[in-house]
Structure 1
Amino acid sequence: MAWTKTYSGSEPMRVNKWLATEGVCSRREADALIEKGLVKINGEVLTEAGYKIEDGQTLSLTEKAARRLDNQLSLMFHKPVGIVSGTPEPGEIPAVRLINEESLSGRAHAIPGRNNKLAPLGRLDKDSRGLLIMSEDGVLAKALIGPESKLEKEYHVKVRGDVTEEKLKLLRHGLELDGRQLRPAAVTVIKGNELKFLLREGRNRQIRRMCDLVDLRVLDLMRVRIGPLSLAGLPEGKWRPISARERDELLRWEAKGFSAEPTAPVIAEPVRRPAPAGKRPPAGGKRPPGAGKKPIGKPRSDAPPSSKPKPNEPKFKRTKLAPRKRTPIK
């Protein structure tokens, strides 16, 4: 069996919900596995989709079920302007149509075909560009676009208009769209009229509408990061698969609510260690004359050699790495 675990909950739980809670698959995927007879309870094939597993019962997935889940494709795509993320209108080109062997950057164990049902995980409108994640993975979809998702997204936005501190304060907190208060956002100035947005939600055309409310017009909008996945190094119009390690990291970031923003450094208090028994100062607190001074004379023969290079030895040189290339903001 590919995946086996014994349920230990205090109350019975539907099998599809438990598999989703364990991060094995989505509820819909679990129902599909049950329908095909790929799930077993205590060694017997489960046939009832609404079955509730009880404390002490063992659930197993067959090897075929594991292969089916492992073969789900997830990829990141550098979407250009003019391409739509989801269902296209007449005359529009959907992003999924550009996912083929010719547009692959690097290597992939499989090329998406007609049988693959890749869905965009997150909005990125036609006039915007940048990182778009597409996947068949229901667990990943819930982590990225579920109603309780806390995954951070980073955007670089070029605007027209006067960028003032008052406008930045409103963008960070204080605006509402469609009668609902927005979650707090981190908005900073990169340079001039180029701003960086860090959001944990994805309303329809959210950044453009936020800027409109403070009399700023968006000229260019680019998503450069989703959680730990960065667009750096992926050319425009190209895609690459998301590895199992990157998938696990995405789920970990979402569960913990991690942020790429550096936090304030923590200054630790100095640790005072007690002096050795033979070298403690007298009870009065005064140290004997000469205490703490370095001895005069030649160093001991058993002392460790100096780390300073000798006159004839070459000095260590640090290698400076070139800055990583990033797609410029138009």
Structure 2
Amino acid sequence: MTEPVRLSRRVTELMGCSRADAEQFIRNGWVSVDGQVVESPQHRVTTERVTIDPNAQFEAVEPATLLLHKPAGVDAIDGPHPATALVTPETRWVDDPSGVRLLQRHFHRLTPLLPLDRDASGLMVLTQDGRVWRRLTEDGDDIEHEYLVEIDGDLAPYGMARLAHGMDYRGRVLPPCKVSWQNENRLRFAIKGARDGQLRHMCAQVGLRVLSIRRLRIGRIGLGKGPDGAMPPGAWRYLPVGEKF
């Protein structure tokens, strides 16, 4: 009977490379066992057919950052219905332009960042990358977010000026922001350091009731558009290599 051996050992024998290089090829999804990609170097094989993708490249194992269009009613970070549960290989946006190869390891230990109201929808970030985590947490209040807010009611006198400058929320004086009408029912906010409930509070102070909130952009990164329009709720895409918030 053939004794089971680690997949990394079998790849080392097939490619004539070091064990470390074999493990890297496996983790990067270039190795299949009986036609199925296996990303674990510790996987045991006996008589199975092990093949290496002819397009295999020796490259660093980079952590992934995923951009999700969170639907309303889903918890961004804490809560019983977490957004992380929506991120699966099947929900990847078909028009994802990143060119990043999908790997199972990209779905492990994802950290959701930047709060978004449960009833709000739009762009949120889930990452394995410590550099992205530091950028969006340590410098988070310096990064501009863009929101589309659907409203109802009659705007109070000087309401736009008040929204743009001169409000406070939970004892904190709010920095100036940019507010404009997209149409008669929607306001567009470009704002830094927004907290949970802040946009609803701001609108209420000028006589407006918020019907919906959607985050369109975080820094330089937007939801994304494809041939069929914007990335739909529940879908996700990769943050392309080299792009920064």
User: Which runs of 5 or more residues in structure 2 are unaligned?
Assistant: 1-58, 226-230
Which residue of 83, 86, 89 maps to 1:98?
A: 86
Q: CA deviation at 1:110?
A: 3.4
- Residues 115-134 of structure 1: pairs in structure 2 closer than 5 A: 116-134=108-126
Does 2:238 match 1:241?
yes
1:299 corresponding residue in structure 2? none
What TM-score, normalized to structure 2? 0.66
Q: CA deviation at 1:148?
A: 5.9
Q: Amino acid of the residue matched to residue 76 of structure 2?
A: S
Q: Amino acid of the residue matched to residue 151 of structure 1?
A: I
Question: What is the distance in 1 between the residues matched to 2:89 and 2:107?
Answer: 15
Secondary structure at 1:159's aligned position in 2? strand
Question: What is the distance in 1 between the residues matched to 2:65 and 2:157?
Answer: 40
Question: What is the distance in 2 between the residues matched to 1:114 and 1:140?
Answer: 15
1:8 corresponding residue in structure 2? none
Q: Amino acid of the residue matched to residue 240 of structure 1?
A: R
2:163 corresponding residue in structure 1? 171
Does 2:79 match 1:88?
yes
2:66 corresponding residue in structure 1? 75
- Residues 35-50 of structure 1: pairs in structure 2 closer than 5 A: none
Contact conserved, 2:87 with 2:236, CA < 8 A, in 1? yes
Q: How many residue pairs were aligned?
A: 178
Contact conserved, 2:77 with 2:113, CA < 8 A, in 1? no
Q: Amino acid of the residue matched to residue 79 of structure 1?
A: K
Q: Amino acid of the residue matched to residue 233 of structure 2?
A: E
Q: CA deviation at 1:119?
A: 1.7
Q: CA deviation at 1:184?
A: 0.8
Secondary structure at 1:202's aligned position in 2? coil
- Residues 302-317 of structure 1: pairs in structure 2 closer than 5 A: none
Range moving further from structure 2, 228-237 or 146-155: 146-155
Secondary structure at 1:87's aligned position in 2? coil
Root-mean-square deviation over aligned CA pairs? 2.1
Q: Deviations over 1:237-296 (max 9, x none)?
A: 10111111213xx2xxxxxxxxxxxxxxxxxxxxxxxxxxxxxxxxxxxxxxxxxxxxxx
Instruction: Write 1 or 2 for the structure with the bigger share of strand.
Output: 2
2:146 corresponding residue in structure 1? 154
Does 2:182 match 1:190?
yes
Query: With CA pairs under 8 Å and 6+ residues apart, which has the higher RCO, 1 or 2?
Result: 2
Does 2:127 match 1:135?
yes
2:136 corresponding residue in structure 1? 144
Contact conserved, 1:153 with 1:223, CA < 8 A, in 2? yes
Does 2:190 match 1:202?
no
Question: What is the distance in 2 between the residues matched to 1:149 and 1:111?
Answer: 32
Q: CA deviation at 1:225?
A: 1.0
Q: CA deviation at 1:109?
A: 2.2
- Residues 198-237 of structure 1: pairs in structure 2 closer than 5 A: 198-233=190-225, 234-237=231-234
Distance 1:204 1:147, change over 3 A: farther
Percent identity reads: 32
Question: What is the distance in 1 between the residues matched to 2:113 and 2:148?
Answer: 19
Distance 1:189 1:136, change over 3 A: same
User: Which runs of 5 or more residues in structure 1 are unaligned?
Assistant: 1-65, 251-330
Report which of the two structures shows the higher radius of gyration computed on alpha carbons. Answer: 1
